[in-house]
Amino acid sequence: MINERMQKEINEQINAEFWSGYLYLSMSAWFTQHNLPGFANWMYIQYQEEFTHGMKMYRYIHERGGEVTLKPIAKVDTNWKDGVAIFKQTLEHERKVTSLINKLMDTAHEIRDYATINFLNWYVDEQVEEEANAEELLGKLQMIGKDTAALYNLDKELSARVFVDSTLSAEE
């Protein structure tokens, strides 16, 4: 059975993961409206990833005999100055998510919940990748500046990204 405090905090993180997905879906819409389908695709895949991250936690609570409590999703931004502003916010947001995962890990260590520590290790690794990806794209956009040909090429490159549910084990 999952510890009540741990269950409450993971439920809060489920909401944060779904909120993250909603934010990235909003960013995808912005890119679509600004004729950048590759960037829109990249953000849409981010939305899918965040949703699966939340669902992985959802399943974990149930596997541990706990209760999932879903809360309303708060409003997200819908308008940005440009792609650089979006990726600055993306990087800032991923750093915040990392701090939330670290807080969950702190609680799991404090209450000596080794199953949850093991479970959360996947998220710790995932956040390293999430921050690196956001930082890389922000850097590329800043380097591109006003070069529309370079922006076009990067957009085309990002359109090739496909969603892979990394939360599922090989058996699933």
Q: Which tens digit of pLDDT belongs to each residue from 26-51?
A: 999 999 999 999 999 999 999 999 99
Q: Distance between CA 11 and CA 58 in Å, rounded?
A: 8
Residue 18: count other Cβ atoms within 10 Å of its Cβ.
22
What is residue 108's predicted lDDT score, i.e. its pLDDT? 98
Residue 37: count other Cβ atoms within 10 Å of its Cβ.
16
Coil, helix or strand for 96? Answer: helix
pLDDT band at 68 (very low <50, low <70, confident <90, very high): very high
Residues 6+ apart with CB under 8 A from 98: 127, 130, 131
What is residue 169's predicted lDDT score, i.e. its pLDDT? 66
Which residue's entry shows tokens 């909603």? Answer: 22
User: Can you give the pTM of this predicted structure?
Assistant: 0.95
Q: Distance between CA 40 and CA 23 in Å, rounded?
A: 12
> Would the pLDDT of 171 be above 80?
no
H or E segment at 15?
helix 4-33
> Which residues in 42-168 belong to E strands, given as ranges?
none
What is residue 107's predicted lDDT score, i.e. its pLDDT? 98
pLDDT band at 168 (very low <50, low <70, confident <90, very high): confident
- All structural domains of the chain, each given as residue ranges with its CATH number in brackets, are 4-158 (1.20.1260.10)
Closest CA to 76 of 57, 88, 91, 93: 93
Q: Which tens digit of pLDDT belongs to each residue from 75-111?
A: 999 999 999 999 999 999 999 999 999 999 999 999 9
What is residue 85's predicted lDDT score, i.e. its pLDDT? 98
> Would the pLDDT of 57 be above 70?
yes
Question: CB of 76 within 8 A of CB of 26?
Answer: yes
H or E segment at 154?
helix 148-158
Q: Which tens digit of pLDDT belongs to each residue from 127-161?
A: 999 999 999 999 999 999 999 999 999 999 999 99
